[in-house]
Chains A and B, each alone.
Chain A
Amino acid sequence: MSKVVGHRGCGLRRVRGRWTVGPGGLVYVMLTGVLGAGAWYTQANLLFWAVGLMIGGLVASVGWVVLTLRKVSVERMVPEQAVAGEATVLRYRLQNRSRLPVFALSITEVWRKGDGTEDPVRMRPRRLKGAPMGWVLHLAPRSAGVAESTCWPLRRGRLRFDRVRLTTSFPFGVLGRWVEFEGTGGSSSVLVYPTIYPLSKRLAFRAWSMTGGLEDSVQQGGREGEVIGMRGYRPGDPERSIDWKRTARTGRLISREYGRPMPPLAMIELDLTPPGALRGGASGGLRALVDGSGRGGRDGQRGAEGEARDEAWFAWLTRAESAIALSASLIHDAYVRGYRVGLAVRGAAGRAAGGVWFEPKHAASHLALLLDTLAEVEVHSGAASAGTDAVGAGNGSGRRGTLRVVAASAGQGLGEGLSGGSAGGRRLGGGMGGGDLVGRARGRVPVLVPEDLERIAGGGTLRPAVPVGLSAAVGGGNA
């Protein structure tokens, strides 16, 4: 019995099937031919036997393949979210309605070409390095089973699945057959979160300290909690809050003031405003390449100027992705530390063009919401629309606990100072490196730039972290 938690099912219907002859089949046929020629040449009866048995194997192989895949159906179960660079397990619920068992069944995700034609050339999205493949050793007759395949999404965004292909060439590999299924409803996509890197505990703590978000904060008011002070009685205060001893001593009504300690505050401001030099936008080819739709490709006739512009855009997009990953890592780190974490995004394109802003909270669902936003945020490929963002309008900008991540800044960020040792603390508010935005942020909000990702992540090779608190949501890590 299998439990499938955190996965959504998607019914699939059979759409096509094909016969295949693989190298194993060719070798088999060749061997049969050699034995047949030998039998005819020598008239040795044992060779006639051997040829007969080989032909019998051929017949049995074809018959078995024909019979076994006829009544097999599949349902794909994908997790709602995944994390870029992390293993994502796709599950398939296989149903064998036949009276015969199925052996050695391969399950592969396949994608048609984007134009939807019946072109047999299949592609996989750029978000994946290889197509996910699963394997079933045995599927008992008239029963169901669950198989798994693993994929490693390379980039954030929505990863859509197209068709599932079941392939078998059991028993002898002489003749293979595959059948494809495509979705009939339900979800067949997974939202891939940005890569979440483990941050250096020490450096991250310093960074959070610089924002002032770690200072004790108490939510005042209320009738419960800890006593945080005394004050004069105000009309409306409950009788129970009156400190009768002090009242007697002072001769006037003194009320106890209650308060509740609040978690530290962490607000990430992600600025994806492209630099002014890139306002011309990238070529269509590069956009398609980065977009991962698979359409088009590099534009072969864009010229030297276009090429230079594409290179600049490519560098920008890389920085922007790093900034998003840094933001996601910070959000995750803050969540793990127990902080209330919020997010503000500006300079983004698409649906988030007007800017987004989330109040700091500490909850798994809130974390998922923030990461959902980062997963789907679109990076500008045209002119920035500064001035219209909610963040730009000053909604929450510059408040205590805010850490700004600026994608366009090319200089040193806060991370340089942090990793530089003792100077970091003293240079808070100043000396965080050059760059316009950094300069503008000086004295107000600590700023991190994409290059800081490597510094704050502890240096060395970046390795994705296993997200805490998301395992259920993203369907588990390594299977």
Chain B
Amino acid sequence: MMDVAQRFRRLAFIQVVLGVVSFCIAAEDPALLLLVGAIAVLSWYVTEGPSAWGLPRVWVNLAALLAVAWLGFGLLQAPEEVLSGMGRFIMVLQVLILYMRKTNREYAQLLVLSLLQMAVASVLPGGTSVVYGLLLGAYGLVGLMTVLLMHLKVSADQVEEARREAAPAGVDAGAMAVSMGRGHRWQLRGLAVVLAVVCVVVGVGVFVGTPRTESGVLALTPQQNGKQTATVGFSEEIRLGGPPINAGSPEAVLNVAVTDQTGQVVGGQGTTWLLRGAVLDQYDPLVRTWRRSTGLTQQDRRVALSGGAVELLADATASEMRSMRYRTRITSRPASRRHLFTLSPTMGGVGAVVGVRSEHLAGVMFNGWDQQAMMTEVPRGAFVYEVDWVAYTRAGLAERYEEHLGPAIEEGMPWELQEGEGEAETEATGGSERGLQASLQGAIDAVWAGAWRSRGAGPGSGESAATQPVGDKRPGSATGWKVGPDRVRALARSVIRAELRPEERKRPASIARALSAFLEREYRYTLDNPPSTNDPVLAFLFEHKQGHCELFASALAAMCRSVGVPARLVTGYRVSEFNTIGGYYVVRQTDAHAWVEVQLGEGGPWRVVDPTPAADLAEEHDVEQTWWRPVVHLYEHLEYWWLRSVMAYDENARQELIAEAQSVVDRSRDEPGGVLHRAKELWDWVRGRLRLDMLGLAVLGFVGAALMLGLGLMLRLYVLRRRRLAALHLEKLPRRRRVGLVRRLRFYLMMLELLERHGHRRPHWQSPFEFAEELAESDPMRFDPVLALTEQFYAVRFGHREMDEPRRRLVKTHLRQLQANLGESG
């Protein structure tokens, strides 16, 4: 009993400490973890160590009152931090109780408080991590064992207390006699496993089957969660001139798998992509912000995902590009932003989105002019969507979308591109990692020159492009630059003159590349944004000559626009970290990036140009390939699985799961390949083949059942035989000998069984003779037959005597006698 009590105390302590650690991890507070964890762990030494000191109850009560006051004060100061405040309060109470001398009541309080703390922690944002999930699982297992032991202890203590009360005053009741059978430890552990399985099975049922509401009543803000700081990452608008940008959180936000039409994974370690999010075409110098213009927003089309999919381009168009069709599967964490991300090569054309698939989305807002896709409703939790895209090499993409999606897209294009014209321009991307992208872009680049030629006048002079009227029919405002236009234009022209040959000055692609190269070469990448009273773009270009990607992109867009090349900013992620275990790219908040898209003439395709120094960017974004990177990938893969399977489970997922289960059953029954269907076919075939009527079927069923029963019996016999061999210690004998001995020594097994039924079990360390002698000593009259039977056992087992008829009769008589002595009717 002491053992049970001691184990319970140890497990209860572990459970409470585990709860404290879990809460600190869920609250993402390492300082609290270190402080409270250390104090909690120290309590074991204080209360259970040699001194066995305990905090007096009065002190604990006073400290609890102080904790209440602290909680009240904290809530007054920051009422939005109610959850984390409650969690910390519960934690303080637990630590106080840990330092007390504890009775069962205190232990019960401790466990209840610990459970409540875990409930609070499960709602906190850090509670979504797989680490917390693992801790929760461990907590559950420890908790199960703790509760079992606690029940044993409390039950024993209650009886002990009753005994003490029943004893006369002043009389020591003595130690309680505890009865326990053999193997109690293993059986308790086995029972714990069974209970855990039952709990998990029911838990899964409740988890899967409980209907969910659309959203929790309690919408936790970061403040309520105790998280005051916002992480820097993807933004749907760019506000320049702010304070220095933090490096951001390494938290993974998306994972992206790219496959071709055959399902083959495309890309891998060393291949970098850009994930397009928001397209920003308008710069507001007053608030120094890039945002999407109203003209573009008005062109957004709402497209419903019927059956979980929608084609945004005509099938014919897509089929033309079939050999170049790719699919991007994106798993998004719980997000509040509405943007759907599409993939682009780091340099080259944007490509064309041809379809969107998702079981989680009801519809998307799509714009053919900038190919920005947004969700009509943001799903709760993590969700998955797929974007099909092609490396579109022809002009008139907007018209293609118009043809397919209907007339809502503004009719008439100012500049019609001629399909298939122009010469291919070699993309000087360089580098082995860009080989794939170069192949994707080969056809796209071919369009560029033709597009400009169709315009009739290239932007080589710069003047004509710069004076391009803004009020044309094209939505958006990707042209013109109003902040210090002359200075910017002068700078751009000087760069173009210096960098490009005259024939190249007519090509927007060349211009954009030259300006980008200039920025890459002459400007320094840094996250420290130096303060300035001037416009941030001008300050970057002419004063500081250093900044982050948004400033690089803004400067390039400004220079391109100043010389008449339409340009717009795109925000999204730079994707380079490939998870080899999951076969997808991991996208983190720190991968947030901004770049520029320039258009190859009116109506022409858009081309990605990234002016941020590639080396600095790689240094900032690319992950170091260390030996623990696979471990990190494994962890992240687990985390994504956890997020997608558990944390993001909602009503949609529930309905899908139910529907999927139903469909599996239906398919199995109805489809030719289904198991049930096959079984039915087999049954029909058997019936047809055997031509059986009902009687025949009944006979067949009976035979089958008998066969199964026979198999079961054989299995049972086998198990029994193994047991008998083990009981007689005959496992190591040759097969022939042991078979004979088992048969002959069966009477001894019967005797053991008989004795065992009455609570007399032979320990494995005791020889048959010792066992018989001990029994006979305890009650000679009763157990005398045991001695006689044991003698017969020795005679047969070691004396090689046969079980002849007289011996058999003798054994039978002794067994009957023993039965009678033990009070069993023969």
Contacts and interface: CB of A to CB of B under 8 A. Distances in A.
B207 A137 contact: no
Task: Name the residue in B112, B122, B156, B158 with the highest tally of chain A Cβ atoms < 10 Å from its Cβ.
Answer: B122
A43 B1 contact: no
Interface string B728-743: 0000000000000000
A1 B762 CA distance: 8
A137 B156 contact: yes
Contact of A133 (B112, B166, B182): B166
Contacts of A131: 162, 166
B184 interface: yes
Nearest to A147: B179
B202 A137 contact: no
A31 B199 CA distance: 16
A386 interface: no
B431 interface: no
Nearest to A2: B759
Interface in A451-475: 461
Contact of B180 (A48, A136, A172): A136
B13 interface: no
B400 to A, nearest CB: 42
Contacts of B194: 60
Interface stretch (A148-156, A199-207, A221-229, A244-252): A148-156
A437 interface: no
Interface stretch (B210-218, B408-416, B611-619): B210-218
Interface in B96-129: 108, 112, 115-116, 118-119, 122-123, 127
A143 B198 contact: no
B154 interface: yes
A134 B159 contact: yes
Contact of A145 (B168, B181, B204, B218): B181
A57 interface: yes
B112 A31 contact: yes
Interface string A34-47: 11001111111111
Task: Name the residue in A2, A135, A145 with the highest tally of chain B Cβ atoms < 10 Å from its Cβ.
Answer: A135
B649 A45 contact: yes
Contacts of A312: none
Contact of B123 (A1, A47, A103, A147): A47
A50 interface: yes
B187 A140 contact: yes
Interface string B263-277: 000000000000000
A130 interface: yes
A128 interface: yes
A71 to B, nearest CB: 13
B122 A137 contact: no
B758 interface: yes
A232 to B, nearest CB: 54
Interface string B154-180: 111011101101111011011011111
A144 B184 contact: no
A46 B168 CA distance: 52
A46 B174 contact: no
A148 B152 contact: no
Nearest to B649: A45
B756 A143 contact: yes
Contact of B154 (A43, A142, A173): A173
A144 B182 CA distance: 11
B518 to A, nearest CB: 52
A140 B191 CA distance: 12
Contacts of B210: 39, 48, 51-52
Given A133-B163, A170-B151, A170-B155, A150 B173 contact: yes
Contacts of A135: 155-156, 159-160, 176, 178-179
Contacts of B159: 106, 133-135
B796 interface: no
B200 A137 contact: no
B177 A147 contact: yes
Interface in B604-647: 646-647
B775 to A, nearest CB: 7
Interface residue range, chain A = 35 or more
Contacts of A3: 778-779
Given A137-B4, A140-B181, A56 B759 contact: no
A104 B127 CA distance: 36
B203 interface: yes
Interface in A77-102: 85, 87, 89, 93-95, 101
Interface in B126-151: 127, 133, 136, 140, 144, 147-148, 151
Given A106-B158, A130-B165, A171-B151, A137 B177 contact: no
A410 interface: no
A49 B646 contact: yes
B220 to A, nearest CB: 8
Given A1-B775, A31-B112, A103-B152, A60 B195 contact: yes
Contacts of A89: 177
A53 B203 contact: yes
A328 interface: no
Contact of B181 (A45, A139, A150): A139
B112 A152 contact: no
B168 A154 contact: yes
Contact of B198 (A1, A39, A59): A59
Contacts of A144: 756-759
Given A135-B178, A143-B181, A150-B163, A49 B123 contact: no
A152 B171 contact: yes
Contact of B203 (A56, A63, A145): A56
A133 B201 CA distance: 37
Given A137-B184, A140-B184, 5 more contacts: A27-B108, A52-B203, A56-B206, A137-B178, A143-B757
Interface of B: 1, 4, 108, 112, 115-116, 118-119, 122-123, 127, 133, 136, 140, 144, 147-148, 151-152, 154-156, 158-160, 162-163, 165-168, 170-171, 173-174, 176-184, 187-188, 191, 194-195, 198-207, 210, 212-213, 215-218, 220, 380, 646-650, 756-761, 774-775, 778-779
Interface of A: 1-3, 24, 27, 31, 34-35, 38-53, 55-57, 59-60, 63-64, 85, 87, 89, 93-95, 101, 103-104, 106, 108, 128-152, 154, 169-173, 461, 478-479
22 contacts: A1-B759, A24-B154, A31-B115, A42-B216, A42-B217, A43-B216, A49-B203, A49-B646, A51-B206, A52-B203, A56-B199, A60-B194, A60-B202, A87-B173, A103-B152, A136-B178, A137-B152, A138-B179, A145-B181, A150-B173, A171-B195, A479-B177
